[in-house]
Amino acid sequence: MPKPGPRGILSDDVIVDAALLLLDTRGPEAMSMRGIATQLGVAPNALYTYFPDKAAVLRAVVDRLIGTHADLSALADSSGLPRARIRTLALGLRAGLIRHPGAASVLLGAPMDGPQAMLLGEHLLSALADAGVEGPSGARASYLIIVYLLGSVALEALELDPTRPAPPEEDRIAARRQAFDRVPAELFPRTAAEAATMATYIGTEQFTWGLDRLLDGLGVPA
């Protein structure tokens, strides 16, 4: 239930909304308690009724991003094939996070321990168990999948302006291809020969290729 706030405008959700707006328009550095308060038109002290510090706000932002972009219902649907459930989760969450280029640094800098993150972890463990990967192996596999997902998003985000929407994937790949075309083939012949493929490293095809190889290695049947 929302706590009373100055002029009745504040709540946990309102503060997280303001933090996300700053993330998307001014980058992760703007998400200070003072910056959020300024965005909302209140004194910084007003925020501490809802969150004890910036770290708590970042945890809530991470949980909002996961809850918004992770298809937890599909992941939890035991009638579906485990591999398809995991792929749906990973592809959807990756696509959603790339729409917030500044989110990568937040996800890598704040614990994933909110309610939505815990649900994601629980359902991922269940999907892996349904595939026969359980116990300690299932826990390690779950961690490996999350690391692959977040690492891929973080590397893509490095090439994006965190204060602007991500350009279409095909445009980003084309720009990378132009950069690879400037690589001197006489010095880096293998790189030049594989430039077309290497330009797609940030694309969905590469992400899916890697995810499938990862799931193959973990013993999740196709």
Kindly list the domain boundaries of the chain, sorted by start residue: 1-52, 69-218
**Residue 65: which residues within 8 A CB-CB, separation 6 or more?**
20, 96, 97, 100, 103, 106, 107
Q: Which of 23, 198, 17 is nearest to 103 (CA)?
A: 23
Check: CATH 1.10.357.10 for 69-218?
yes
pTM comes to 0.88
Query: What pLDDT is stored for residue 162 in this prediction?
Result: 87
Output the CATH code of domain 1-52.
1.10.10.60
Query: What pLDDT is stored for residue 131 in this prediction?
Result: 97
- Supply the DSSP symbol for 53: S
Query: What pLDDT is stored for residue 2 in this prediction?
Result: 41
* CA atoms of 52 and 78, how far apart (whole Å): 38
Structure tokens at 123: 């359902």
Query: What pLDDT is stored for residue 178 in this prediction?
Result: 95
∠ Cα 211 217 218 (to 5°): 90
**Residue 195: which residues within 8 A CB-CB, separation 6 or more?**
177, 180, 181, 183
pLDDT in tens, the chain (222 residues): 344 444 458 999 999 999 999 999 999 899 999 999 999 999 999 999 999 999 999 999 999 999 999 999 999 999 999 999 999 999 999 999 998 888 888 888 888 899 999 999 999 999 999 999 999 999 999 999 999 999 999 999 888 888 888 899 999 999 999 999 999 999 999 999 999 999 999 999 999 999 999 999 999 999
